[in-house]
Amino acid sequence: MHNLDNQTIQLALVALVALAMLIQAIVLVAALIALRKLAKSIRQEMDDLRSAIKPVIESTRTLLARVAPKIEEATADLAAISRTLRNQVADVQVATDEIIARARRQASRIDSMVSNVLDTVDQAGSFMANTVTKPMRQLSALLASAKAVVESLRSTGGAARAQANRASGDDLFV
């Protein structure tokens, strides 16, 4: 076997290539079988998932079909309530503005009335002061002159004493 000729080497190489192709074919068949099993298990899992999700989707559809008109009705009611509330707020605002305007007019009227009353009281006070004070001054002056006359008559020689006091510089005590 020391004699290896060209044909023998080629035959050995062909046998090795055939063996490698056989191994490769076996590996590919094994991969194909594994992929089929994997695809089968994935398909099974998907079917299980579909069967589990399908009732949930159907119940959700049914719920939405039942609830959708109620939601639309509630939305319409809320819109109507907000419209009505907006109108009522506007009416309250108008009424409030009107009340405030009336209160301002009344306050102005009361201010005018109080000012008139105070002006009248001031004028009446001035009139009373002039009416009472002027005659009182005149009466006071009349009484003072009467007192001076009586005192001068009481004192005998009052005029002579007054001249003597003036001459001596004591006229401050007269």
Decide if pLDDT at 174 tops 60. no
Please give the Cα distance from 148 to 157 (Å, whole number): 14
- pLDDT at residue number 167: 65
Res 15 pLDDT > 50: yes
Q: For 35-93, write each residue's pLDDT tens digit.
A: 999 999 999 999 999 999 999 899 998 988 888 888 888 999 999 999 999 999 999 99
Q: Is the pLDDT of residue 28 over 90?
A: yes
Question: Token pair of 130, please?
Answer: 């002039």
Instruction: Give pLDDT, residue 139.
Output: 85
User: Which tokens hold the place of 77?
Assistant: 């009611």
The pLDDT of residue 104 is 92
> pLDDT for 121-134, tens place per residue?
888 888 887 887 88
Q: Which helix (H) or strand (E) holds 45?
A: helix 6-154
pLDDT at 137: 84
d(CA 95, CA 87): 12
Q: Cα separation of 72 and 86, whole Å?
A: 21
Using the predicted structure, report yes or no on whether residue 20 has a pLDDT greater than 90: yes
Helix, strand, or coil here: 170? coil
What is residue 27's predicted lDDT score, i.e. its pLDDT?
97
User: pTM here?
Assistant: 0.39
Mean pLDDT for the chain?
A: 86
